[in-house]
Structure 1
Amino acid sequence: MREPLLSLRGLRVSYGGIQAVKGIDLEVAEGELVALIGANGAGKTTTLKAITGGQPLAAGEIRYRGESIAGAAPHALVARGLAMVPEGRGVFARMTITENLLMGAFTRRDRAGIAADIERMFATFPRLKERARQYAGTMSGGEQQMLAMARALMSRPALLLLDEPSMGLSPIMVEKVFEVVREVSAQGTTVLLVEQNARLALQAAHRGYVMDSGLVTLHGEAAQLLEDPKVRAAYLGEQGGAGELAG
């Protein structure tokens, strides 16, 4: 079997004396869209921070394209094809939309390709084209999320990490964000999606992992997880108790 594009083995992450991630295994094959779902505080964002070098490991291994990337600097990972859209978007508020997109391509030197990709982002996100010279800090939350995704895609990532892309957005914007997520996946970019909206995440994904209190409690094909009684009770608002998932 081919080695997965990304694999975590025995990953442990601590904040002081608190274990936020307690020895999880997770893998993402090339071309997959994998969802990591769970309640707030389950350890999902901490897992992404560990992958991208924003949080040191207490134990375990992170391999990307067959090589260990534990401790690698975030900018070095971007150059190797791994990009992240952080929770809270993190756009450059005092830069224009176009300048933000150019920042996403900071590792590249192909000017013609960069210009073509900016036009491609404007085609994917027409709202950004309308506001190309507007400062990012003056945009709505939904528009900023579109910009954050477009900026990450400007690096032409092999693996895109998305942290809670639907958080705080209107239903119309959430629908647009997930439309883009599915489109990006269909175009061949591998995606690891962290998302509290379990239904939308699993409907978009090929496979899924469920995190609870720093542990992976369930994993499998996304369609099967959507039908799992424990997932339905805990995360899809159907009859049953959230505590069932821990059993």
Structure 2
Amino acid sequence: MTKNVLKISGLRVAYGGIQAVKGIDLEVNEGELITLIGANGAGKTTTLKAITGTLPDCRVDGHVEYDGQSMKGLHSFELVQRGLAMVPEGRGVFTRMSIHENLLMGAYTKSDKALIEADIEKWFEVFPRLKERSAQMAGTLSGGEQQMLAMARALMSHPQLLLLDEPSMGLSPIMVEKIFEVIRSVSAQGITILLVEQNARLALQAAHRGYVMESGLITMSGDADSMLDDPRVRQAYLGEG
């Protein structure tokens, strides 16, 4: 039986009188690449922040379980220690640190220096552009290079579950293809991924299953290939029909 890594039940998030998430259910099983697609303002990023407990002051109701345990009250660093890492929208790299130093920060929960350096070399193989610039300040990198660095930094913590929030946002088409190539490669290594993405076509092509979010509600879910062929998805998110 497939192990359940993340289970969201009846999640509601309200900012004052505004309901951003209106009671959603979502599951991610071990080894899956799941995508959550939808328009701007649908509640996708709010959902990820509710999972990680990084929302500003707001009311959060419902249940979020990671690896069979409630995540209520856990701090972000405790989530990383338990194997959950997030690459936030906007990347959030340490701009005044080098690429190498950013990667070391990703491994702050680890103590074996030899293993940490081996991990850095491993991800440099996946992101060769970062290796070429390892001493360069992160703030001087292009948007695509910063996205690669943010992903590599998160992977340094050996996550069981990787949350990706809009990894293709603002990138050139060539860089978007590269980022998705890496996402598929990471998934192939057995790392479970929950991907929030506006590029519905690429997201569904990479994913095993998908969810559609509209105005704070999950309006559709299913096998990614089937969703790619669904007329409603094609019309609303793929620019067809």
The CA distance in 2 between the partners of 1:186 and 1:174, in whole Å, is 18
Do the aligned residues in 1 keep the contact of 2:2 with 2:30 (CA within 8 Å)? no
Do the aligned residues in 2 keep the contact of 1:57 with 1:70 (CA within 8 Å)? no
Which of 221, 224, 229 is the aligned partner of 1:222? 224
The CA distance in 1 between the partners of 2:11 and 2:36, in whole Å, is 15
Note if 1:66 corresponds to 2:68: yes
The CA distance in 1 between the partners of 2:164 and 2:195, in whole Å, is 5
Q: Secondary structure of 1:199's match?
A: helix
Alignment of 1:149-168 (within 5 A): 149-168=151-170
The CA distance in 2 between the partners of 1:59 and 1:172, in whole Å, is 40
In structure 2, list runs of 5 or more residues that go unmatched.
none
Do the aligned residues in 2 keep the contact of 1:4 with 1:29 (CA within 8 Å)? yes
Q: Which amino acid aligns with 1:37?
A: I
| Structure 1 residue 70: Cα displacement | 2.1
The CA distance in 1 between the partners of 2:209 and 2:5, in whole Å, is 14
Task: State the 4+ residue runs in structure 1 displaced beyond 3 angstroms.
Answer: none
Task: Give aligned-pair identity as a percent.
Answer: 72
In structure 1, list runs of 5 or more residues that go unmatched.
240-247
- Tell me the residue number matched to 1:101: 103
Q: Which amino acid aligns with 2:198?
A: Q
Length-normalised TM-score, structure 1: 0.95
| Structure 1 residue 53: Cα displacement | 0.8
Q: Which amino acid aligns with 1:59?
A: D
Alignment of 1:111-150 (within 5 A): 111-150=113-152
Do the aligned residues in 1 keep the contact of 2:32 with 2:193 (CA within 8 Å)? yes
Q: Secondary structure of 1:192's match?
A: strand
Note if 1:205 corresponds to 2:196: no
User: Paired residues, what number?
Assistant: 239
| Structure 1 residue 15: Cα displacement | 1.2
- Tell me the residue number matched to 1:48: 48
Query: Which deviations, in whole Å up to 9, do the C-alpha atoms of 1:45-96 show, x marking residues without a partner?
Result: 0000000111265210000010000231111100000000000000000000
Do the aligned residues in 2 keep the contact of 1:35 with 1:195 (CA within 8 Å)? yes
Length-normalised TM-score, structure 2: 0.97
Do the aligned residues in 2 keep the contact of 1:165 with 1:177 (CA within 8 Å)? yes
| Structure 1 residue 119: Cα displacement | 0.4
Do the aligned residues in 2 keep the contact of 1:50 with 1:57 (CA within 8 Å)? no
CA RMSD of aligned residues (A): 0.9
The CA distance in 2 between the partners of 1:202 and 1:2, in whole Å, is 21
Deviates more, 1:215-224 or 1:56-65: 56-65
Compared CA separation, residues 185 and 63, structure 1 to 2 (3 A): same
Q: Secondary structure of 1:5's match?
A: strand
Q: Which amino acid aligns with 2:201?
A: R
Do the aligned residues in 1 keep the contact of 2:103 with 2:153 (CA within 8 Å)? yes
